Amino acid sequence: MPEPWYVVAVLAIVFVITVALRAVPFAILRPLSESRFVMTMATWMPVGILAILAAVTFRTSALAGHAPHALAAAVVTVVVHLGAGRRTLLSVGAGTLTFVALVNLT
């Protein structure tokens, strides 16, 4: 069993590293908030992440024989996204629920 001072030292180091890793991005981002690069990334990053997620989902679904279900869920996602004022969480949730329902009910 390690000494109590050793455990306290390790916990203190872990605490400092965790706080630093969570605080540094906010400290760095404040001066960059007017940066054109940061604004561009804020616009395009969600689109890129969703595109990667969609590609992986389609690939996995096609291998499992659920490509039509994935295609229907993608259509629902796009329709809800464009029809509900571009609310990403709502559209991704609707597409996910559609896919899960189609896979489990058919």
* Of the candidates 91, 96, 97, the residue with the CA atom closest to the CA atom of residue 79: 91
Domain that holds residue 43: 36-106
Percent of the chain residues past pLDDT 70, beyond the cut: 100
pLDDT at 10 over 90: yes
**77 and 98 housed in the same domain:** yes
Domain identity same for 106 and 57: yes
Instruction: Give CA–CA dist 65/43, Å, rounded.
Output: 34
The domain total for the chain is 2
**pLDDT of 100 above 90:** yes
Query: Cα separations (Å) of 59 from 10, 46, 94, 100?
Result: 43, 20, 20, 16
Please indicate, yes or no, whether residues 40 and 7 belong to a single structural domain of this protein: no
- 105 with 57, same domain? yes
* Of 8-12, 40-44, 68-72, 96-100, the least confident: 40-44
DSSP string, the chain: ---HHHHHHHHHHHHHHHHHHHHHHHHHHHHHTT-HHHHHHHHHHHHHHHHHHHHHHHHHHHHHT-HHHHHHHHHHHHHHHHHTTS-HHHHHHHHHHHHHHHHHH-
**pLDDT digit string, tens, across residues 39-90:** 898 889 988 998 898 899 889 888 889 999 999 999 999 999 999 998 989 9
Query: What's the mean per-residue pLDDT of the chain?
Result: 91
What are the pLDDT digits (tens) for 74-88? 999 999 999 999 898
- Mean pLDDT value across residues 18-35: 86
